A and B are shown apart, each in its own frame.
Chain A
Amino acid sequence: MKRVIIADDSSMARMFIRRCLEISGFGDTEFFEGSNGQDVLDLLKEKGQVDLIVTDLNMPEMNGMELLRRVKASPRFHHTPVLVITSTTSDEKVRQMEEMGALAVLSKPISPTALAPAISTLVETEEYSS
């Protein structure tokens, strides 16, 4: 079973992301949810390693960019794939987050079609290893 953390300050957005993930290959998955970056860090401490973190960019308290920076700076979690989903993106920000190690940066509204290519390597890896 895969383990995924979804971070978004909107419960509706978290649910929508979860559904898209389920359709895109993360069916047998345990999902954990947080409403900001700090929640994700707390979940990582509590739950340990996960297969994927999906985070919104614009969140209160700790935004997705800071979360990405903190995860990639962590000796324990820096290999964890981080997918950023945002409604407000610019080419420069996308490039910056990709340089910081984001798996991909996707624009809202997301759909399973848009999500699938970004996470295909994770799904294939899991299927292969199982």
Chain B
Amino acid sequence: MKNEELFQAVLEAVSETLESMVFEEVTPSENDASSPLDENSIWASLDIKSPEKGKFAIQMPAELAFELAEQLFMGDESFEMTEAVAVDTLAELVNTVAGKFMSDNIQPDQSLEVGLPQTGRNAPEGEFDNVFRFTISDSDFKILIKGISFVS
């Protein structure tokens, strides 16, 4: 998959996920993908185990994760905003976005197996082959991908 095709496939997965969950439009960022995000960032990643090993991660400012979580829980009287909720929201996002992206792009006869989401502060460790930057609610976030040369 060429870089532009990969970008469009990732944009589609991210857009469908976030637009259905928080009714917010996702657009490509005008900022350079390699430039750092807000210092107070959190991330969630998902290991891809099959059909080949890889990794899919989302990194965003903690403030944006809080904002998305608040939108998701809006109207829920039992909701109490904590960092754990924001991190959980990000973990579910990476799970859903990566799952959708992979399911949409692997061959029908390939099986898809993933690990459980990992989370942390700042930026995910390790090298990534592709870094894409998007905007939602006037804030930027990144999708980082490693080792998915097998997608069609």
Contact = CB atoms under 8 A, between A and B. Distances in A.
- A-B complex is real: yes
A36 to B, nearest CB: 11
Interface in B52-75: 69, 72-73
B69 A10 contact: no
B89 A12 contact: yes
A89 B112 contact: yes
Interface in A1-58: 9-13, 15-16, 58
Interface string B99-116: 110110010101111101
B103 A88 contact: yes
A111 B20 contact: yes
A10 B99 CA distance: 15
Nearest to B95: A87
B45 interface: no
Contact of B16 (A16, A89, A91, A109): A109
Q: Which secondary structure characterizes the binding site on chain B? A: helix
Contact of A90 (B85, B111, B116): B111
B76 A15 contact: yes
A9 B116 contact: yes
Contacts, number: 69
B19 to A, nearest CB: 9
A99 interface: no
B21 A16 contact: yes
B99 to A, nearest CB: 3
Contact of A88 (B76, B79, B102): B102
Given A11-B88, A58-B116, A86 B99 contact: yes
Contact of B92 (A12, A86, A88): A12
A87 B99 contact: yes
Nearest to A10: B92
Contacts of A92: 111
B135 interface: no
Interface of B: 16-17, 20-21, 69, 72-73, 76, 79, 85, 88-89, 91-92, 95-96, 98-100, 102-103, 106, 108, 110-114, 116
Given A15-B79, A87-B95, 14 more contacts: A10-B91, A10-B95, A12-B92, A13-B92, A16-B72, A58-B114, A60-B116, A88-B98, A89-B99, A90-B111, A91-B108, A93-B111, A108-B17, A110-B20
